[in-house]
Structure formats: C-alpha cells, structure tokens
Amino acid sequence: MQPTLVLMAAGMGSRYGGLKQLDGIGPHGEVIMDYSIYDALRAGFGKVVFVVRRSFEKEFELFARRFGGTVQYDIVLQEIENIPAGYSYPPGRTKPWGTNHAVMMAAPVVREPFAVLNADDYYGVHSFRIMADYLQSVTAGQNRYCMVGFQLGNTLSETGGVSRGICQVDAKQRLTGITECHQIQRINGHIRYLDDENNTVILAGDTPVSMNMWGFTPDYFAHSERLFKVFLQANSQNPKAEFYIPAAVNELIQSRAATVSILPTASQWFGVTYREDRPTVMKRLTQLHKEKVYPGKLF
C-alpha cells in the first residue's frame, strides 16, 4: 500500500506578504511544494492531499491542473467552523485551529499511512525516502508513528532567529518529548537562544529538531478527534489558542497511547517564512537543479 502525502497549505502568509504556498520561486517557476510532491512520488508515495482555505481553493485547483493527470490528489478545506457537533468557538476567533486541526481535515480521504508536512518548506530528498520506507513498514500497524529529525544546524535562517521544536530522544531513537524554543540563531559560531529566565543556552548543531514532518497511520485521526474535544473545552474562551501537532503527539507519548520513532536525516531544510528569505531560497533551488538533483522541469 502506497502512503499518502498531506500538505498543510491553509496558512494565509501574513508575515510573507502573500500566498507563499503558490509563489513560483524555482528556476522554472516551481513552488516549494512542487519539490515535496516530486520527492514524495519518487520515494513511493501514491497520492497528495492539499489542506487549504476556502478563500483560495480555486487557486489550488488551477495549480493542481498543471500535473495533467500524472498526480492523484484531493483538496480538503480547513475552516474555523470545522469542529465536532455540540462545540462552539469563542467570540473573536478568525482563523482555523492550527496544524493538528489541519491533519484532521484529511480524515475523509485518507485510509492508508500518511506523511504530513508544511507546504512552504523544503525537506530534501533523503527525508522523503526514509519517511516512505517507514510508512510502508507499518501498513497494518497502529499507534506507531514517526517524525523526521533534522539537525538543528541545518535548519537555521540567515535573516534572524527561528523557533524550533527541540526533541528529547531515548536510547531506542523514540521521541519522549518536544520543547519549543524561540529566537534560535547562530552568533559568533555558536547556536544559542534565551530561555524564559533570559539565560543564554548553547545548543549543538546536531541537536534533533522537528520541522513538522510527521508520519502517522489512520488511527491517529481518532486520537486527534478525542484530544481536540479536550482542547476545545479547555480553550472555550481563548480566541487565539492553537491545536498543534507536537501538543497532540506529546499527550499520546506521555499517556503511552503511541510511540514516535525519530528518523534522523542530514538533509538541509529551508523555507520562506519571511519575504527576505526568498532570494536565498531561489539561489538554493537553482543550485539543486544545476547539481541534477532535479530535472529541468518537474512536471
């Protein structure tokens, strides 16, 4: 059974200044998720699911037509009103509920193991290969998930500090927890950030971090539904609360409901969080084509 690729593409790109998911920044007008789709298909994935907002659904339909029938895909919508019956959202809420809410939107069209990742991040060829291998090994399994663990030093931005999920890993290469750290940057050759008490913390370049590249089996949808109800009850008056994947995964790990294997990679991550990131990403993608990692035209 071929796994499915779920691309979270419902962000509005407010910090970027536009719909960055569809910004053609490759040397032939490719968008970043073109590379994720290409890498996933050659690694053995069989289908793509785009999670988008209704306000730009038509743009994604036009984008998907470029594949000319060579890629099997579904488009699903993530909206604020997509909540369980009997629940409501607080006054002032204006957007959906975060990354794990996005995952839940794919439930009606996914029946096989699946990977989920950001549409506007580049993850590298190796990351998709190890993800595909893992998901194909757990086709009949449940509660055995995975996450591609990037090396912190390969995920930093040249334009400023970044937030990263620092992973705690046991001797069996299983995730035991994730701690979100902010404003991580390389200064004078050292990777550092300030903790909650304003102390400088130095981190090793090979520290494993989450870049939102997860692998699940379909039973994860039922776990998410249950945890989402708990989340909604706890945040009934909080218009800005977010239901993130790491929070849901941490809960499953702590309750021993599931295990998450870390799949280490030395792949170089990059993305376009800010408009200032665009020239650097363009240069990197052009170089990958020159090195024949990618052909002249992906699709």
Is 295 inside any structural domain? no
The answer to whether residue 64 is domain-embedded is yes
Confidence band for 110, pLDDT divided at 50, 70 and 90: very high
Q: In 10 A of CB 125, how many CB atoms?
A: 16
Q: Is residue 87 part of a domain?
A: yes
Domain with 199, as residue range(s), is 4-290
| Confidence at residue 12, expressed as pLDDT on a 0 to 100 scale | 56
What's the domain count of the chain? 1
Residue 24, domain member (yes or no): yes
pTM, full prediction: 0.94
Residue 10 lies in a domain: yes
| pLDDT score at 156 | 92
pLDDT of residue 20: 74
Residue among 115, 103, 76 nearest 242 (CA): 103
**Confidence tier at 13 by pLDDT (50, 70, 90):** low
Question: Is the pLDDT confidence value at 224 over 90?
Answer: yes
**Residue scoring higher pLDDT (114 or 237):** 114
CATH number of the domain enclosing 181: 3.90.550.10
Q: Do the domain assignments include residue 198?
A: yes
Asked whether residue 66 is domain-assigned, the answer is: yes
Task: Output the 3-class SS for the chain.
Answer: CCCEEEEECCCCCCCCCCCHHHCCCCCCCCCHHHHHHHHHHHHCCCEEEEEECHHHHHHHHHHHHCCCCCCCEEEEECCCCCCCCCCCCCCCCCCCCCHHHHHHHCHHHCCCCEEEEECCEECCHHHHHHHHHHHHHCCCCCCEEEEEEEEHHHCCCCCCCEEEEEEEECCCCEEEEEEEEEEEEEECCEEEEECCCCCEEEECCCCEEEEEEEEECCCHHHHHHHHHHHHHHHCCCCCCCCCCHHHHHHHHHHCCCCEEEEEEECCCCEECCCHHHHHHHHHHHHHHHHCCCCCCCCC
User: Region 165-180: what's the mean pLDDT?
Assistant: 95
* 57-89: pLDDT as tens digits: 999 999 998 888 899 999 999 999 999 999 998
Q: What is the pLDDT of residue 159?
A: 81
Whole-angstrom distance, CA of residue 272 vs CA of residue 285: 12
**What pLDDT is recorded for position 69?**
87
Range with top average pLDDT, 53-62, 64-73, 107-116, 176-185: 107-116
How much is the mean pLDDT over the chain? 93
Average pLDDT over residues 84-103: 92
Q: What is the pLDDT of residue 15?
A: 52
Instruction: Give the pLDDT mean for 264-289.
Output: 91
Domain assignment of residue 94, yes or no: yes
Rounded average pLDDT over 106-117: 98
Look at residue 293 in the predicted model and tell me its pLDDT: 97
